[in-house]
Chains A and B, each alone.
Chain A
Amino acid sequence: MPLLLGAVLVVIVGLAAALAPALSGLLGLDPYDQVAPRHLTPPTPPDRDHPLGTDGMGRDQMSRLLLGARLSLTTALLAQALALVAGLLVGAVAGWNGGYTDAVLMRATDLMLALPAPLLALAVAAAVPEPENAPLLRLFPEPSLALVLLVLGGLGWAAIARLVRAEIMRLRTEEYARAATASGASGARVVLRHLLPNAAGPILVAASLGLGGNILMEAWLSFLGVGARPPLPSWGTMVAEGQVHVVTRPWVCLAPGLAILVAVLGFNLLGDGIRDRLDPSLRSAAA
């Protein structure tokens, strides 16, 4: 049940993200254009042309929400991919080699996990006040989101590394692993061909749960003004910009707030569902 619901929510958000430009084009909406009538103080309420009304700057809220899905999801996915690659590398090397290598890498991982991630993310993101003009970041299409991506990826790898190491240590004593080693396969080959595929389940669960976390964290950083820069319509920015109107025109921050809720809930349910499927002990307990 959680798996199905999670999958449905994720598919909805995913479709919105994938089709954002097409959908906006179809509806004749532009996320940056100030479309509210020039004599009305925005945000204007929902009407036929603008199903979610306009935001505080008079821009169409629907198309911003759609583009926001694309930005949030892309950032979260790429950050998670970055974390996954780094986490797999560190975890596999530590788990396979053991000894000093393991000790050094795991202490580094412990250090990362010991620091409060949200505060660290905030500190790092705020330390680069001008991503548009920062040396490396300016090469990206959206430098401010590239910064968020790097920060989230740079923080997310530790949990995955810990998990991968445990799985590798558990699996490397399995007979098929010993057999592969005995028949002359290199360490890298054994890890990549035999061990990681068998550890895929828990890693997938962690990655899915991490995605929800990334979406939330991106929204939070943007809400505080250190994530997506105006006029980019990140969901977090949209909530922040809507908060002055929260009493009188609540739809302005309600829409992006609900979008965050749906996306995060979706990925969390999906992760939970996959774990339930993969873990027979949980399944029997549930039954």
Chain B
Amino acid sequence: MSRLPPRAARAGFAVALPAAALLAAIGAGGCGRPAAPPAPEQVYRFRLREDPPTLDPALVTDNLSEAITAGVFRGLVAMDPESLEVVPAVASSWTVSPDGLLYTFRLRPVARFQNGRPVTADDVAWSFRRLLRKDTRSPRRWLLEPVAGAIDFAEGRAADVTGIAVTAPDTVTLRLERPFAPFLGMLTMSGASIVPREVYDDPAKPYLRAPVGCGPFAVVRWEQANVIEMKAFDGYWGGRPAVDRILVRIIENRTTALEEYRAGGLDSLDEVPADPGPDLAADVHRYPFIGVGYIGFNLGLAPFKGNAALRKAFNYAVDKEYLWNVLMPGGNIPGRGIIPPGIPGYDPDLPGYPRDPAKALSLLAEAGYPGGRGLPPITLWVNTSEDNRRIAQQIQADLKKVGVSIAIKEVDWAAYLQAVEGTAAVPGQAQMFRFGWYLDYPDADAVLRLQLHSRNIGPPGNYFRYASPEFDRLVDEALAMTDPQARAGNYRRAERIAVMDDAVWLFLNYFESATLFKPYVKGIVHTPLGEFRIPLERLVIERPVAGAKPAA
């Protein structure tokens, strides 16, 4: 349905052509210059592997939903897709008080919802209260929890949020309980989108299928398991986008999707085949993605418990360069540490653990297992996937070269998570496991604190049961710091402790996005936020139109 049969398209053109020519002839008054045909409609078609779980911005937690809501909605502020800096959106400007507690936002007078109504400061306050309200059941409530009184309101102990105030029709202020540096960045997430009250207050919830926001594209049609159609919003405050229409095609099977891309039914594809043939090689776009991949060591179990030398030996034994540049090229950059490139605090000078079997051997001896002798059975857990199996085998082969034998265990995702997470008190079963962490917000806090702070041991994210008082202190301190440079410095120091001193993981890779784009798709921004956050409003489709050629 997204692709007109070429013959029909051509026939339509043939009918339209004489009329256009006639009009042109009349209009031009016989001056002899043929008028340019009207600019063809720009249609962009991309694929999602399944229906987005929700289009309610307050409920979005996954990237499929974000692929749509990022076009429909805008918050007070947005994330620049390239620099990941916070930039104005519905708010044209803002100020932060010197103590880091009071945020004042001034709204754009031209901002409108897709139903035509201007966006007011009351909408902002109402949208934020909606996110916090218990009956919204938002998994992203925590975005606004730093606001004074937010938790009391969310728990039903207060009638209003004391920290949210509308001081003028175009001004809204947010007062925080205590300074919280990542706050502005969190306001760029889908959960903090501004929605029109008259639509989102309707108990019939029409917005679940027909969302209304103030972003550049409006959803006009959603056929479950088939297609979502979006149209450019003429009243978008940032200017009408170049693309007129977007067709989001739901195609579950990746082989089907690839064939559809090949056949021309898709303009981009979010999955690049492991082995793209020569016909697709030119369409592959690769760019860093804010995530980090690693083998986690369980510091609660033998033999990794209390043995940093052993963990370092494992790190030196594995050839990350070969793994990601030769064996499985594409999708990953060899990793050296925790904070991925693009995130403030990323440390280009972090040495990490380049492959060095000699060092690995001497560290093994230092760890008490010379040449790997005396080690208990070690099992590397992975969740079932073709890629994981290869990664695990490469690590197995590399470790074998320094005398260490490990077994590989593949289990399904649910069983895997259970073995990895453990509980707050009891370590999981898995001694070492392959894991990846995608940063929810582009701040080192989203990985350092959530994954490695001793407060988060167990299911909240610290599956490794890492506990370092100095690391904890640096990360806690950074939360309240307002100077970005100083914060980044804290994160660098914390990362060095976890990487170079404690070798808490076997550092494998930084993520990379890989997407196929037809050559006629222009304006692609290689954003570290991932392929689903490439700004749709910047795309330009220069598709050769069927039937346009024979005009000459």
Q: Which A residues form the contact surface with B (CB < 8 A)?
A: 32, 34, 38-42, 56-58, 129-130, 132-133, 225, 229-231, 241, 243-245, 247-249
Contacts and interface: CB of A to CB of B under 8 A. Distances in A.
A39 to B, nearest CB: 6
A230 B393 contact: yes
A130 B377 CA distance: 11
Contacts of A133: 377, 379, 407
B397 A34 contact: yes
B386 interface: yes
Contacts of B394: 57
Interface in B348-400: 377, 379, 384, 386, 389-390, 392-394, 396-397, 400
A41 B384 contact: no
A248 B400 CA distance: 30
B131 to A, nearest CB: 42
B327 A58 contact: yes
Contact of B329 (A41, A58, A230, A244): A41
Contact of B275 (A38, A58, A248): A248
B127 to A, nearest CB: 45
Given A130-B409, A225-B410, A40 B326 contact: yes
Contacts, number: 57
A269 to B, nearest CB: 34
A57 B275 contact: no
Closest 9 CB pairs of A and B: A132-B407, A248-B275, A230-B393, A244-B274, A225-B410, A230-B408, A41-B326, A57-B393, A244-B386
A32 B401 CA distance: 11
Contacts of B411: 129
A247 B275 contact: yes
B327 A132 contact: no
A57 B393 CA distance: 8
A241 B327 contact: no
Contacts of A249: 275
B13 interface: no
Contact of B392 (A230, A243, A244): A230
Contacts of B408: 229-230
A129 B409 contact: yes
A206 B397 CA distance: 41
Contacts of B328: 41
A133 B407 CA distance: 9
Interface of B: 274-275, 277, 322, 326-329, 377, 379, 384, 386, 389-390, 392-394, 396-397, 400, 407-411
Of the candidates A42, A229, A230, A248, the one having the most CB atoms from chain B within 10 angstroms of its own CB is A230
A131 to B, nearest CB: 9
Given A56-B390, A129-B411, A248 B277 contact: yes
A57 B410 CA distance: 18
Nearest to B397: A34
A58 B326 CA distance: 10
Nearest to A245: B275
B390 A247 contact: no
Contacts of A243: 386
9 contacts: A40-B326, A129-B411, A132-B379, A230-B389, A230-B393, A231-B396, A245-B274, A248-B277, A249-B275
A67 to B, nearest CB: 16
B379 A130 contact: yes
Given A41-B326, A133-B377, A57 B386 contact: no
Contacts of B396: 230-231
A129 B418 CA distance: 14
A225 B393 contact: no
A244 B392 CA distance: 16
A266 B326 CA distance: 39
Nearest to A131: B407
A180 B275 CA distance: 70
Nearest to A33: B397
Given A132-B407, A229-B408, A248-B275, A38 B393 contact: no
A249 B275 CA distance: 9
A249 B276 CA distance: 11
A47 B393 CA distance: 24
B301 to A, nearest CB: 13
B429 to A, nearest CB: 10
A244 B393 contact: no
A225 B409 contact: no
Contacts of A42: 327
A40 B275 CA distance: 13
Nearest to B405: A132
Given A39-B326, A231-B396, A57 B390 contact: yes
B100 to A, nearest CB: 50
A33 to B, nearest CB: 9
B529 to A, nearest CB: 28
Contacts of B275: 244-245, 247-249
Nearest to A133: B377
Nearest to A42: B327
Most A C-beta atoms less than 10 A away, residue of B274, B326, B329, B392: B326
Contacts of A129: 409, 411
A57 B411 CA distance: 21
Nearest to A243: B386
B322 A38 contact: yes
B407 A231 contact: no
A57 B319 CA distance: 13
A231 B329 contact: no
Contacts of B397: 32, 34, 57, 231
A225 B384 contact: yes
Nearest to B328: A41
Contacts of A32: 397, 400
B377 A132 contact: yes
A242 B377 CA distance: 29
A95 B18 CA distance: 92
Nearest to B415: A129
Nearest to B329: A41
A123 to B, nearest CB: 14
